[in-house]
Amino acid sequence: MSRPLDLHPDRLLPSDTGIRAIARELYASVAGLPIVSPHGHTDPSWFAKNQPFGNATELLLRPDHYLFRMLYSQGVNLADLGIGHHKATYDPRKAWRILAENWHLYRGTPSRMWSDWVFSEVFGFTQMLGADTADLYYDTITEALATDAFRPRALFERYNIEVIATTESPLDTLEHHAAIQADNASGAWGGKVVTAYRPDPVVDPEFEGFRDNLKRFSEITGEDCLTWQGYLAAHRQRRAFFAQHGATSTDHGHPTAQTANLSAAQAEALFDKVAKGSFTAAEAELFRAQMLTEMAGMSLEDGLVMQIHPGSFRNHNEALFAALGRDKGADIPMRTDYVNALKPLLDKYGNEANLSIILFTLDESVYARELAPLAGHYPCLKLGPAWWFHDSPEGMRRFRHATTETAGFYNTVGFNDDTRAFLSIPARHDVARRIDCGFLAQMVAEHRMADWEAAEVAQDLTYNLVKKAYKL
């Protein structure tokens, strides 16, 4: 059976003839704009060293928890996919065949769309992935990756990336960013790759190795990070260091959005417990809460934009976490409160127009109820795009439908790809552009906005808002 791989030019645009015509025109006006990627998880060493990527499985399947979680849910053994320590013993080609044989599982998912774009646009396939094309795919991709045209920097340029942000821990040396900066300065390469400050390993008392991390934090900064003042000074120092390496933002991945507004004495006493490793779960939560407020205060000082990504129950699958570690597709969203949780921080800094906090959520029920009203009032708050499980056509539609009427477009910040799947980055931005243009086209077709206004908004959502919000 012939199963052509066909990227239709109208894909994801609304099917209604009237709306689609408007959407096509809007999309055409933004499709070619450069990619600004203000938040994600690509590896800076790729761009620093510019070594070829490995084989198809190593690049496209093993690191992609969207792909392997679906296979796992249907009974596939993660060892056969080389996940975690199984990398040492698995057969990449066999793993790829498992993916290919199960390709129907991804029907209707964004992974399918992103992947099909990569297969078609990057590697030129014209037949769909499947059991019969598994080896053809594996070989073609693996061979291509060995060529210069598929090295990280070449793809960066081919992808028309204006700037990309990675995410590092305060304990990171940023050596790869320094190397890239050196190449930028010497003219060896022009690609702009910036870091972002993600302090969870030294902020969350329940993070694996937290106390060791504090010691390392001390070593790196020369501050005594087992004292509250030294700890805060170390953050200030590393934030400045990150800013020198291009960072314009921080990022905070907490279980909840809880913030706190403790007195200095209370905060210090709490830190002492935490630093000693002798604390309750409630104290850990309170410390994370207080640190969001501390970080907001530092952002007001140094201008770094603050991102909050709350509401994921990390490592929900106990046995899997014990066997294979974090980021194995077992993070599950939770119901998340913002209206009460953010109040302590907002009581302190909410009216600062020079502070910028970008809120994300995995709980869509808060879009219209909490997030849009909060962002539509507080000067310091903006709404990040639909995130993770909701970074999808339906998720993006729900985001715009639920937030626009209260927060408008101008309290949002454009698109984040938030991915380590470098090859699919253009596909992800393309999905956002198509969905936003479809939404705007509906507004025009329902005579809720003039066509020229929609065209302005399309430019803003694709390019202007993200640059402004992230100071890029």
Rounded distance between C-alpha atoms, residue 32 and residue 47, angstroms: 23
Rounded distance between C-alpha atoms, residue 140 and residue 5, angstroms: 15
Residue (110 or 384) nearer to a second copy, CB:
110
Residue (6 or 157) nearer to a second copy, CB:
6
Query: Which residue, 83, 91, 80, is CA-closest to 320?
Result: 83
| Minimum gap (Å) between residue 55 Cβ and a second copy | 26
Q: CA–CA distance from 369 to each of 9, 339, 375, 388 (Å)? A: 36, 9, 11, 20
Query: Which residue, 466, 449, 442, is CA-closest to 385?
Result: 466
Residue (10 or 157) nearer to a second copy, CB:
10
| Minimum gap (Å) between residue 87 Cβ and a second copy | 20
| Minimum gap (Å) between residue 409 Cβ and a second copy | 6
Residue (24 or 245) nearer to a second copy, CB:
24
| Minimum gap (Å) between residue 390 Cβ and a second copy | 7
| Minimum gap (Å) between residue 41 Cβ and a second copy | 19
| Minimum gap (Å) between residue 219 Cβ and a second copy | 37
Residue (15 or 89) nearer to a second copy, CB:
15
Residue (236 or 369) nearer to a second copy, CB:
369
Residue (48 or 324) nearer to a second copy, CB:
324
Residue (183 or 331) nearer to a second copy, CB:
331
- In a 3-state reduction of DSSP, which class is residue 158? helix
| Minimum gap (Å) between residue 124 Cβ and a second copy | 19
Q: CA–CA distance from 416 to each of 36, 38, 58, 261, 388 (Å)? A: 8, 6, 24, 30, 10
Residue (168 or 436) nearer to a second copy, CB:
436
| Minimum gap (Å) between residue 464 Cβ and a second copy | 12
- As a whole number of Å, the CA-based R_g of the chain is 23
| Minimum gap (Å) between residue 453 Cβ and a second copy | 6
Residue 306 has phi, psi (to 5 degrees) of -105, 125
| Minimum gap (Å) between residue 248 Cβ and a second copy | 19
Are 98 and 80 a contacting pair, CB within 8 Å?
yes
Report CA torsion sign: 326, 327, 330, 335.
positive
Residue (123 or 389) nearer to a second copy, CB:
389
Amino acid at 451: D
| Minimum gap (Å) between residue 375 Cβ and a second copy | 7
Residue (195 or 412) nearer to a second copy, CB:
412
End-to-end CA distance of the chain: 49
Residue (448 or 471) nearer to a second copy, CB:
448
Query: Which residue, 391, 407, 366, 314, is CA-closest to 40?
Result: 391
Query: Which residue, 219, 418, 179, is CA-closest to 307?
Result: 418
What is the arrangement of strands in the sheet containing 357-359, beginning at the earlier edge strand?
249-252, 305-308, 357-359, 381-383
Rounded distance between C-alpha atoms, residue 242 and residue 236, angstroms: 10
- Helix (H) / strand (E) element for 169: namely none
| Minimum gap (Å) between residue 350 Cβ and a second copy | 6
DSSP 178-202: HHHHHHHHHTS----EE--B--HHH
Structure tokens at 251: 């990022």
- Cβ-based neighbour number of residue 450 at 10 Å: 11
Rounded distance between C-alpha atoms, residue 260 and residue 262, angstroms: 6
Rounded distance between C-alpha atoms, residue 472 and residue 469, angstroms: 8
Q: Where are the alpha helices (DSSP H) in 200-326?
A: 200-203, 210-221, 228-244, 264-276, 281-302, 318-324
